Amino acid sequence: MVSLLVASDLDGTLLRSDGAVSARTCAAITELVGSGGTFVYATGRPTRWVHPVAAEVGHHGLAVTSNGALVIDLATDEVLHETLFFPEMSSQVVHLILAAVPTVTFAVDGADFFGHDPKYKPRWVVPPGCVVAPIDVLTERPFIKLLVREEDMTGQELLAICAQAIGHLAMPTRSSADGLIEITALGTGKAQALQWIAEQAGLTAADVVAFGDMPNDLSMLEWAGHGVAVANAHAEVLAMANEVTGSNDDDGVAQVIERLVG
């Protein structure tokens, strides 16, 4: 039996460029779990966007969603662990960002709601019941993740500015190249969520293998006993990983899992 916890980012890592999961990857995850290992989806996506992937893979285990703010049992939808953004702090973060970049627009994501200000342009289909309101109204209730968009900046540029403005109060990161950053409460991250999962199972970082491709995966890959970057990963991720595997389109995650359980 394998005493191993494997965590993988989704977009750009586990998922191919067309958004699908290969048959080889599904088989590797099934073999890992069948051998006694644990597989965890670890993503910046909200929970509602993980269920379709789990259905395709055929594995409804644990998921770290919203960049570590939530740990979910996908089989039951039970929230096992959460780190919320509360109004006093989120309001302060919003106003500091506006002082630094007045042209940004905002959205908020909660476990059971999504909302955005009137000028924010969603890139994906919003869930039913989406609330459109000024950001000061949206931050009157606790939520999980703050989305900040500036169409005329790259994600790297916007992250640098926001990190300087609010890095002492919250956790800004990015998972795309365009001008969108994602902010969670201070102390939140994929690493912290994985550590919590490992502790519940009596495991340590040495028992964890993590896969990623973007800056929001850095903390997870650094904390894990073995951090693996896919070949198509961002330069920062490639530089700090313990191993570089094949790209997401070449079943890089499956290649390593097969070796671990083979």
Same domain, 151 and 164: yes
Same domain, 75 and 194: yes
Q: Which residues contact 71 (CB under 8 A, 6 or more apart)?
A: 62, 63, 64, 65, 79, 80, 81, 82, 193, 196, 197
- Number of structural domains the chain divides into: 2
Q: What is the pTM of this model?
A: 0.91
Measured distance CA(173)–CA(180) in Å, rounded:
9
3-state secondary structure of 52: helix
The pLDDT value given to residue 137 = 96
- Residue that terminates a domain, selected from 185, 200, 231: 185
Same domain, 92 and 158: yes
Same domain, 70 and 151: no
The pLDDT value given to residue 25 = 98
The pLDDT value given to residue 2 = 64
Same domain, 92 and 177: yes
Same domain, 125 and 157: yes
Dihedral angle computed from the Cα positions of residues 147, 151, 152 and 153, in that order, rounded to the nearest 10 degrees: 30
Please list the rounded mean pLDDT of every run of 10 residues in the chain (262 residues).
87 97 97 96 93 95 95 95 94 97 96 92 87 96 95 94 95 88 94 96 96 95 98 97 98 97 87
Q: What range does the domain containing 145 cover?
A: 87-185
Same domain, 112 and 28: no
The pLDDT value given to residue 1 = 54
Instruction: Determine which helix (DSSP H) or strand (DSSP E) holds 1, and give its type and residue range.
Output: none
Same domain, 163 and 74: no
Same domain, 142 and 164: yes
Same domain, 148 and 77: no
Domain CATH code at residue 19? 3.40.50.1000
Question: Which amino acid belongs to residue 174?
Answer: R
- Residue that terminates a domain, selected from 185, 219, 244: 185
The pLDDT value given to residue 174 = 87
Domain CATH code at residue 174? 3.30.1240.10
Same domain, 152 and 115: yes
The pLDDT value given to residue 175 = 83
Q: Using CB atoms within 10 A of its CB, is residue 44 exposed (0-12), middle (13-18) or buried (19+)?
A: buried
- Residue that terminates a domain, selected from 165, 185, 205: 185
The pLDDT value given to residue 229 = 98
Same domain, 78 and 129: no
Instruction: Determine which helix (DSSP H) or strand (DSSP E) holds 156, and give its type and residue range.
Output: helix 155-166
